[in-house]
Chains A and B, each alone.
Chain A
Amino acid sequence: MASVEIRGLEKSYGSTVKALQDIDIHIESGSFFTLLGPSGCGKTTLLRSIAGFLTPDRGEIHIDGQRIDTVPAHRRDIGMVFQDYAIFPHLSVADNVGFGLKNRGVSGQALRQRVAEALATVQLDAYAERMPTALSGGQQQRVGLARAMVIRPQLLLMDEPLSNLDAKLRLELREDIRDIQKQLGITTVYVTHDQEEALVISDRICVMNKGVVEQIGTPWEIYKIPQRRFVAGFVGSMNFFPAQHDSRGGIAMFGGSFAGPTLASVPAAAEAAVRPEDISIVRPGAAVPAGLRLATTVAKLSFMGREAQYTLKAADGSIVLVHLPNPELSLLSLSGHAMEIVIPWERIIWFDPASGDRVGAVAA
Chain B
Amino acid sequence: MSSRARPGIWTATLVVAWLVVAVLLIYPVITILSESFIDNSGGHFTLAHYATMFTDDYYRQALFGSLFVGLASMIGSLVLGLALAFLTTRFVIRGSGLLSTLTILALATPAFVNAYAWIMMFGANGFIRTGLTSLGLPAPTIYGAGGIILVFTFKYFPYVYLLTANAFAAANRSVEEAAENLGTPPVACFFKVTLPLIFPALSSSALLTFVLSIADYGTPAVIGRNFHVLATEAYMQFSSELGGNLGMASTISIVLMAISLLFVALQRRLASRDRYGGAMMNRPIVKHLTGGRWLLSHVVCYAIVFIATLPSAVVVYYSFRKTRGPVFQPGFGLGSYERVLHNVSDAIVNSLIFSVSSVAFIVVLGTLIGYLLVRRGGIFASWLDNVLMIPYIVPGIVMGIGFLAAFNQPPLAITGTGLIIVLVIFIRRLPYAVRSTAAILGQLSRSSEEAAISLGCSPAQAFLRVTLWLILPGVFAGALMSFVTAINELSSSLVLYVGSTMTMPVRIYLSVLDGDYGTASALATILLAVTAIAVVAALKLTKQGGRSII
Q: Please list the residues of chain A having a beta carbon within 8 angstroms of any beta carbon in chain B.
A: 51-55, 71-80, 82-90, 99-100, 103-104, 144, 147-148, 151, 157
Contact = CB atoms under 8 A, between A and B. Distances in A.
B454 A80 contact: yes
A142 B5 CA distance: 29
B128 interface: no
Given A52-B3, A86-B451, 7 more contacts: A51-B454, A53-B1, A74-B456, A78-B454, A79-B455, A88-B452, A100-B455
Contact of A82 (B447, B456, B462, B470): B447
A51 B457 contact: no
Contact of A72 (B2, B452, B458): B458
Contacts of A87: 448, 451
Contacts of B450: 51, 53, 73, 80, 82, 86
B177 to A, nearest CB: 26
Nearest to A156: B454
Nearest to B456: A103
B358 to A, nearest CB: 29
Contacts of B2: 55
Interface in B399-418: none
A89 B467 CA distance: 10
Interface string B123-141: 0000000000000000000
A148 B447 CA distance: 13
B541 to A, nearest CB: 15
A148 B453 CA distance: 11
Interface string B1-28: 1111110000000000000000000000
A82 B469 contact: no
Secondary structure of the A side of the interface? loop
27 contacts: A53-B1, A53-B450, A53-B453, A55-B4, A71-B4, A73-B3, A73-B4, A73-B450, A73-B453, A74-B454, A74-B457, A74-B458, A74-B459, A77-B456, A79-B455, A80-B451, A82-B447, A83-B447, A84-B445, A84-B447, A86-B448, A86-B450, A90-B469, A99-B452, A100-B455, A104-B456, A151-B455
Nearest to A13: B1
Contacts of A73: 3-4, 450, 453-454
Contacts of B271: none
B456 A100 contact: yes
A90 B454 contact: no
A147 B451 contact: yes
A88 B454 contact: no
A200 B6 CA distance: 41
Nearest to A96: B451
A82 B455 CA distance: 13
B447 A88 contact: no
B380 to A, nearest CB: 18
B9 to A, nearest CB: 14
Contacts of B459: 72, 74
Contacts of A54: 1
Contacts of B453: 52-53, 73-74
Contacts of A103: 455-457
Contact of A53 (B3, B466, B469): B3
Nearest to A157: B454
A90 B470 contact: yes
Contacts of A84: 445, 447
A142 to B, nearest CB: 15
Interface centre among B1, B4, B6, B458, by most A CB within 10 Å? B4
Interface residues of B, number: 24
A170 B524 CA distance: 61
Contacts of B462: 74
Return the 7 tightest CB-CB contacts between A and B, nearest first. Answer: A100-B455, A103-B456, A86-B447, A86-B451, A80-B454, A82-B447, A90-B469
A103 B458 CA distance: 10
Contacts of A90: 466, 469-470
Contact of B454 (A71, A79, A104): A79
A111 to B, nearest CB: 13
Interface string B450-486: 1111111111011000100110000000000000000
Contacts of A82: 445, 447, 450-451
Nearest to B458: A74
Interface in B197-229: none
Interface centre among A77, A78, A82, A151, by most B CB within 10 Å? A82
Contacts of A151: 455-456
A55 B3 CA distance: 7
A287 to B, nearest CB: 52
Contacts of B452: 88, 99
Nearest to B1: A54
Nearest to B450: A53
A242 to B, nearest CB: 40
A99 B466 CA distance: 11
Contacts of B448: 86-89
Contacts of A104: 456
Nearest to B448: A86
Contacts of B1: 53-54
A89 B470 contact: yes
Contacts of B457: 74, 103
B423 to A, nearest CB: 34
B50 to A, nearest CB: 43
B234 to A, nearest CB: 46
A54 B446 CA distance: 13
Contacts of B445: 82, 84, 86
Contacts of A100: 454-456
Contacts of B458: 72, 74
B11 to A, nearest CB: 16
A146 to B, nearest CB: 12
A148 B451 CA distance: 9
Interface centre among B2, B3, B456, B470, by most A CB within 10 Å? B456
B443 to A, nearest CB: 12
Contacts of A148: 454-455
A93 B5 CA distance: 29
Interface centre among B5, B454, B458, B462, by most A CB within 10 Å? B454
A51 B446 CA distance: 14
Contacts of A147: 451, 455
B450 to A, nearest CB: 6
A88 B471 CA distance: 12
B440 to A, nearest CB: 13
A73 B466 CA distance: 16
B376 to A, nearest CB: 13
A55 B6 CA distance: 12
Nearest to A84: B445
Contacts of B466: 88, 90
B12 to A, nearest CB: 18
Contacts of A77: 456
A106 to B, nearest CB: 11
A51 to B, nearest CB: 6
B8 to A, nearest CB: 11
Contacts of A157: 454
Contacts of B3: 52-53, 55, 73
A51 B453 CA distance: 9
Interface centre among B452, B455, B456, by most A CB within 10 Å? B455
Nearest to A73: B453
A88 B4 contact: no
Nearest to A72: B4
Interface centre among B1, B3, B450, B466, by most A CB within 10 Å? B450
Contacts of B470: 89-90
A88 to B, nearest CB: 6
A147 B466 CA distance: 15
B544 to A, nearest CB: 16
A199 B1 CA distance: 32
Nearest to B462: A74
A104 B455 CA distance: 9
A78 B448 CA distance: 15
A41 B453 CA distance: 25
A299 B449 CA distance: 54
A55 B448 CA distance: 19
